[in-house]
Chain A
């Protein structure tokens, strides 16, 4: 399971989360609701190891997280994927959709991506997870064919067709870009998926499609899902149980 215990986060003097605990079980969808500004997204970032809390602990399948962001061990970091609300802010605008979907392969340093990166000499840092390293490396060269197939399969599953994959973010709609972000989140086969207002900006049909993709992945792999939304109707339909986070990040979590 993905476990957050007694998480406290402060931004300056403001307490955003106050001793919040939350557990995501494998194979289940846990909904997390609460009003705007109550700390839902902050909790998502902590559980994805993107933000170090002031106090409290996160454990992935029983392994405690002791280092955060790019310093988090790769095998922990790649167990948890995060899908953001605004796809446009979550992608490198220089990459094509295909490169965006494949980016984690390069970041995770799979063999195929590694050789391609060495060839181009651009991905100097190789630190990954968050950023821009590894531009255009994955999916090129012979060693990348397995990766390319995986990218193609996931792209098809989220509903992106060949021509769209060659475009850059400014050439596609929000809905199409979010489809790429969902494929990107699934490409390393994470054990846990955190969907932070994944469909808030999208129309009903695209929402229904992406929720279906996430559910199919969960059924196939037994992954655990944390579905964050302020839409109680959506969570009621999607989640097995719903936790509520109170205003000011009080530990009001109950399923």
Chain B
């Protein structure tokens, strides 16, 4: 079966006088039929992670670790980190991994109709010309919609065109990078519904978002990223209902339908990450142990914390029992 296995993926950037550690030792797996959502605040490194998988990092970036596409049908295995442009362009982008971009309306070329761009994508991917119309119909776009220029499309329609174009090469993995930016709640719900449908037809989805509620609607698994690291990874209901990392718990609690209280303090700069736990300075559970960086462990590899919240400690109202794992 197809799968993407990311192991110890790190990405850093050299800038004058400093090194920005954007992704540190990320490990996760994405499988067909499942959606993994990667959530975290802006600047935590989640978009860089997406770009690394597509070989779209800028020249001053250094990536290490591995991200392997294992493909059962014809595609073969591909190591994405350090792959040649030829491999990426010929075998990966659009064909194995489709990108659903941030703000689809601006992703499209403004001077050409949606149809012209769809057809170009289909042609480049070597699919039959009728594919464009089929894809459009699949996403509920009429032929008349395709004849429009990007500025004539509403936000929801531009989103659907972007989804259809991402499928031009029939990729088994879709990478959606903040696909809901600027959409209102109804459109977010619909976009998430479309992603879920893609999962249900057997594709894998990696969703990158800052929007916990959007992630909740579509994801099977949730990875919480903080200061370049995945600090918690588990089934979405588990992580949202019974978060075990204090940062996850803080994020969940900060939502307006929960306590609506911010996590105190600010995240550290990615140029000056502490040696120990990066969340410790903001954490009420901090002890001396936190001077040593915690690995994601505990058997299931769910949480990177020396003092994970016990199951009852989360944000459940009935969390009264005194228990510390």
Contact with A along B241-270 (1 / 0, CB 8 A): 000000000111011110011110110010
- Decide: A208 and B42 in contact? CB cutoff 8 A: no
A35 within 8 A of B: yes
Interface of B is mostly: loop
User: B interface, how many residues as a size bin?
Assistant: 20 to 34
- Decide: A176 and B254 in contact? CB cutoff 8 A: no
| A172 CA to B213 CA, complexed, in Å | 25
| A201 CA to B260 CA, complexed, in Å | 17
Given contacts A207-B254, A233-B256, contact A36 B41 (CB under 8 A): no
- Decide: A173 and B41 in contact? CB cutoff 8 A: yes
| A201 CA to B182 CA, complexed, in Å | 8
Residues of B within 8 A of A204 (CB): 210, 212, 251-252, 254-256
CB distance from B240 to the nearest CB of A (A): 11
CB distance from B180 to the nearest CB of A (A): 10
Residues of B within 8 A of A237 (CB): 256-257, 260
- Decide: A231 and B256 in contact? CB cutoff 8 A: yes
| A205 CA to B247 CA, complexed, in Å | 10
| A206 CA to B251 CA, complexed, in Å | 9
Enumerate B39-55 residues with CB–CB distance to A below 8 Å: 39-43
| A204 CA to B44 CA, complexed, in Å | 14
Residues of B within 8 A of A209 (CB): 262
A131 within 8 A of B: no
Residues of B within 8 A of A111 (CB): none
- Decide: B210 and A202 in contact? CB cutoff 8 A: yes
Residues of B within 8 A of A174 (CB): 42-43
- Decide: A205 and B262 in contact? CB cutoff 8 A: yes
- Decide: B257 and A201 in contact? CB cutoff 8 A: no
- Decide: A208 and B41 in contact? CB cutoff 8 A: no
User: A interface, how many residues as a size bin?
Assistant: 20 to 34
**How many A-B contacts at CB < 8 Å in the complex?**
86
A238 within 8 A of B: yes
Residues of B within 8 A of A90 (CB): none
Stretch at the interface among B142-150, B169-177, B184-192: B184-192
A200 within 8 A of B: yes
Interface of A is mostly: helix
Residues of B within 8 A of A205 (CB): 41, 250-251, 254, 262-263
Enumerate A195-248 residues with CB–CB distance to B below 8 Å: 200-209, 211-212, 230-234, 236-238
- Decide: A161 and B266 in contact? CB cutoff 8 A: yes
Residues of A within 8 A of B185 (CB): 230-232
A175 within 8 A of B: yes
B183 within 8 A of A: yes
| A242 CA to B187 CA, complexed, in Å | 21
What 9 pairs between A and B have smallest CB-CB spacing? A173-B43, A230-B184, A203-B41, A209-B262, A204-B254, A208-B262, A174-B42, A237-B256, A208-B254
18 A/B residue pairs, CB under 8 Å, sorted by A: A35-B186, A36-B182, A36-B184, A36-B187, A37-B154, A85-B182, A161-B266, A173-B41, A176-B266, A200-B182, A201-B42, A204-B251, A205-B41, A205-B251, A211-B260, A230-B184, A231-B185, A233-B257
Known interface pairs A36-B187, A230-B184; 15 further A-B residue pairs with C-beta atoms within 8 A, sorted by A's residue number: A36-B155, A37-B155, A159-B265, A172-B43, A174-B42, A176-B43, A202-B41, A203-B39, A204-B255, A205-B263, A206-B262, A208-B261, A233-B255, A234-B256, A236-B256
Interface residues of A (CB under 8 A from B): 35-37, 85, 159, 161, 163, 172-176, 200-209, 211-212, 230-234, 236-238
